[in-house]
Amino acid sequence: MQSDFLRLLCRAKLIKRWSGTLCLEEDDVARHTYDVAVITYLLCVILNENSDNKIDTNKAVTVAIFHDCTDMILTHIISPVKKCNSRILNAVDELKKEAENQIVNMLSPTMQKEFFTILECEDTLINQVVKIADNIDVYCKSLEEIQRGNIEFLTIYKQSLMKLKVHAEKYSYVGEFIDIFLEPCEENNYKFRYLHEEEEL
């Protein structure tokens, strides 16, 4: 059977994030998805190196890749809207379920079964890590905007930072991730972007 699944998912770069918020640098679902997948991978590596509670890194990254796939149909609904009250949140959840079903039905029966296990992942640890990675990306985005003088992201920054601190207190692998990767983000030093010059002998 032929399918529009790939065409739909590749529209991620067209779906803008942060509707109604001034962004000095535009963000889209494709960029966010990539960032969350990378962060998920790094969290998994740290977790597997330092814990007896192992995680399936490949599956976790796959879940991260598709965690916002319904945005291709629904567009990105910002948290202050969808979490305004339980009635709206339940309605958004219903919409997401409808969108998920439509996306799954684009695939062959065999692929539907495989993809459904990704969208409805029952692995608590994987879901935890991807959710934390999602928040870390929000933190990084808000930090970048604030560093460039955009005060509209100040509330978002404070909220994501508070969540991050709670996660770090609860999960040691998050604290280690912060020490290794996030503390350098607070420095306005971009020398890492270039090849390092060789020291003269």
Per-residue pLDDT of 114-169, as tens digits, reads 999 999 999 999 999 999 999 999 999 999 999 999 999 999 999 999 999 999 99
Structural domain containing residue 121 = 5-178
Q: Is 19 helix (H, G, I), strand (E, B) or coil?
A: coil
User: Kindly report the CA angle at 169 between 166 and 173, in degrees rounded to 5?
Assistant: 110
Say if 93 falls within a structural domain. yes
State how many domains the chain has.
Answer: 1
Say if 172 falls within a structural domain. yes
- Copy the structure tokens of residue 31: 């960029």
pLDDT at 39 over 80: yes
d(C-alpha 178, C-alpha 84), whole Å: 30
Average pLDDT value for residue range 8-27: 96
Question: Mean pLDDT in the chain?
Answer: 94
Say if 194 falls within a structural domain. no
Say if 189 falls within a structural domain. no
- Copy the structure tokens of residue 101: 């079903």
- Copy the structure tokens of residue 88: 């709206």
d(C-alpha 192, C-alpha 66), whole Å: 30
CB atoms within 10 A of CB 54: 10
pTM of the model: 0.93
Say if 85 falls within a structural domain. yes
Say if 195 falls within a structural domain. no
CATH classification at residue 117: 1.10.3210.10
Say if 54 falls within a structural domain. yes
HSE at residue 198, side-chain half, CA atoms within 13 A, is 2
pLDDT tens-digit series, residues 64-81 = 999 999 999 999 988 888
Per-residue b/e over 60-76, b at no fewer than 16 CB within 10 Å? bbbbbbbbbbbbbbeeb
Say if 124 falls within a structural domain. yes
